[in-house]
A and B are shown apart, each in its own frame.
Chain A
């Protein structure tokens, strides 16, 4: 991560950063940037409120991307999981990355399902592959892996190679199918 105190966001984002800082619990949020990305690090307790406000007051109406990464053993990482929201304004084209975090043993963040319906499947995918629970999501089930699957394959402690998970699946009888 580039050092946050050395970074000042470009002028186009100044109003948005000020708006985000006005949300309760976000007054000390970390603003950072890399190449053309401007990032806000919002604590998970305030993330839903901050994102809601960014949509309604800053015009960031398009949720371009929502996903997560596992920062287990990542250099200088403080939290285990990082969740990012890439937002964009269709009118002005301004783009902003909002990041929040979650930790073991019970990683959870608030769902933005009510703010953007586009978050539906993206949150399900993160839940499936990382095991991060999105509170308030009405239909949080696995999406890529089958329901019987017991682990979360994109976590860093899930190996690339192995014997597979076949033993977790029992053969269906004709009555069950």
Chain B
């Protein structure tokens, strides 16, 4: 057996500190929100070395991805980052559709954009709210969760599920949205700016919050790139990179929005970038909901990639055959024997899937590129030299979702 955790958590040699001690932080700790463990070597209150120990929530998602077909695996994928489930589904099916070379209909693209941006707001509300909660600002968290409830209702109206909707399908969606749903999104859009302003008023000029975030956990631009940071964490360090702009997918090319960046790279910058991004997402949804194209939501039925609707299954022989062909274990899709990496800008950062296909309707290998995993590897770098109380601020600002971290 090679190196073990015991080797890694040994106190640093020869540092000359007399009053060193070791603190176990987690796996069950309110500030970790889920199960992750940190072993901190401390000198008094100052962190000399932080060693993350993860894997408590490892449930073999990628192994399951090799045994479930492209539509079935979506139910696993949205349990990865359960704070923004539909964003994961969109990322997964984006990769599958790249592999199968499916062109989505304009309506499907726009609905996916709306969902992706709703999920961004959903995720950032939790990230900012929980970051504030960990630092003692309870009210902001409640304001954020009020808005998250409304987004859950929107999810439910479109998909029948609040939390794990499994909404996307290869080449389309589980079902189309209706006018009531559009009304719900509109009413959410109407109320959101006021709630956002409430949270800003509670936190942005809050002396305690700023003191606990400013200058804590600074990530420079060079280190952000060197350590593979993406998404709001990288953008808060001045890396101007947003896949929605750099490698446009869905309908993002046609939509006008700004990429939010900061140059400070500390916990406060990450908080502020997330808060601003919510307003950009609001702008995108407001445009998209008024410019929602009509037409079919699933791509061309003749391609035999998308499940036909219920009526045509029950009332036509072609529909029935088609339905069987996509459900029988020896039929389904026939992807090319090749491999592809495709990624989307999820709320937390770049969420990509590398799919290796052997021509079967299940992936040979379904690799997830999980932003939380990579951001958590930044933690020792960010925490060293700070005090124990800053651990909560840094963890909150990275928005680690353990289900995605361990998969």
Residues of chain A touching chain B, judged by Cβ–Cβ distance below 8 Å, are: 1-2, 34-37, 61-65, 67, 69-70, 74-76, 82, 84, 86, 90, 93, 95, 97, 116-122, 125, 129, 139-147, 153-154, 158, 160
The interface-forming segment of B83-91, B145-153, B363-371 is B363-371
Let me know if B340 and A35 touch, CB within 8 A.
Answer: yes
B residues less than 8 Å from A116 (CB atoms):
226-228
A residues less than 8 Å from B225 (CB atoms):
61-62, 90
Let me know if B228 and A86 touch, CB within 8 A.
Answer: no
Residues of chain B touching chain A, judged by Cβ–Cβ distance below 8 Å, are: 1-5, 7-8, 54-55, 58, 60, 62-64, 66-67, 98-99, 101, 223, 225-230, 239-241, 246-247, 336-343, 350, 352, 354, 356, 358-359, 364-365, 367, 369, 373-374, 376-377, 406-407
User: How far in angstroms is the closest Cβ of chain A from B311?
Assistant: 34
Let me know if A144 and B369 touch, CB within 8 A.
Answer: no
Q: Which of A36, A67, A144, A145 contacts B354 (CB 8 A)?
A: A67
A residues less than 8 Å from B350 (CB atoms):
64
CA A74 to CA B337, docked complex, whole Å = 9
Contact flag A69-B377 (CB < 8 Å), given A2-B338, A90-B241: no
Let me know if B352 and A147 touch, CB within 8 A.
Answer: no
A residues less than 8 Å from B3 (CB atoms):
139-141
Let me know if B63 and A74 touch, CB within 8 A.
Answer: no
Contact flag A74-B4 (CB < 8 Å), given A65-B341, A145-B55: no
CA A82 to CA B63, docked complex, whole Å = 17
CA A119 to CA B225, docked complex, whole Å = 12
Contact flag A34-B339 (CB < 8 Å), given A64-B228, A64-B369, A154-B62: yes
Closest residue of chain B to A150, judged by CB?
Answer: B1
A residues less than 8 Å from B342 (CB atoms):
35-36
Contact flag A153-B60 (CB < 8 Å), given A93-B246, A143-B54: yes
B residues less than 8 Å from A63 (CB atoms):
228
Let me know if B55 and A97 touch, CB within 8 A.
Answer: no
Let me know if B227 and A118 touch, CB within 8 A.
Answer: yes
The 4 tightest CB contacts between A and B, nearest first, are: A118-B228, A69-B365, A121-B377, A141-B3
Let me know if A65 and B247 touch, CB within 8 A.
Answer: no
Let me know if B67 and A84 touch, CB within 8 A.
Answer: no
A residues less than 8 Å from B359 (CB atoms):
75
Q: How many A-B residue pairs have CB under 8 A?
A: 121
Q: Which of A95, A141, A153 contacts B8 (CB 8 A)?
A: A141
B residues less than 8 Å from A146 (CB atoms):
55
Q: Which of A70, A75, A143 contacts B365 (CB 8 A)?
A: A70
CA A159 to CA B317, docked complex, whole Å = 39
User: How far in angstroms is the closest Cβ of chain B from A70?
Assistant: 7
Beyond A34-B340, A36-B98: 9 further Cβ-contacts under 8 Å?
A2-B338, A35-B342, A74-B358, A86-B354, A86-B369, A120-B377, A141-B5, A144-B55, A160-B67
Let me know if B67 and A65 touch, CB within 8 A.
Answer: no
Let me know if B101 and A35 touch, CB within 8 A.
Answer: yes
CA A36 to CA B62, docked complex, whole Å = 24
B residues less than 8 Å from A118 (CB atoms):
226-229, 374, 377
B residues less than 8 Å from A82 (CB atoms):
356
Q: Which of A2, A37, A142, A160 contacts B341 (CB 8 A)?
A: A37
Q: Which of B5, B356, B376 contacts A69 (CB 8 A)?
A: B356
Q: Which of B63, B241, B337 contacts A1 (CB 8 A)?
A: B337
A residues less than 8 Å from B227 (CB atoms):
116-118
Q: Which of B63, B246, B339, B352 contacts A154 (CB 8 A)?
A: B63
CA A141 to CA B6, docked complex, whole Å = 11
**Can you sample 14 A-B contacts with CB below 8 Å?**
A2-B336, A62-B225, A67-B369, A75-B337, A75-B359, A76-B337, A116-B227, A117-B226, A118-B226, A118-B228, A121-B374, A122-B374, A142-B55, A144-B58
Contact flag A141-B4 (CB < 8 Å), given A65-B341, A86-B341: yes
A residues less than 8 Å from B354 (CB atoms):
65, 67, 84, 86
User: How far in angstroms is the closest Cβ of chain B from A9?
Assistant: 16
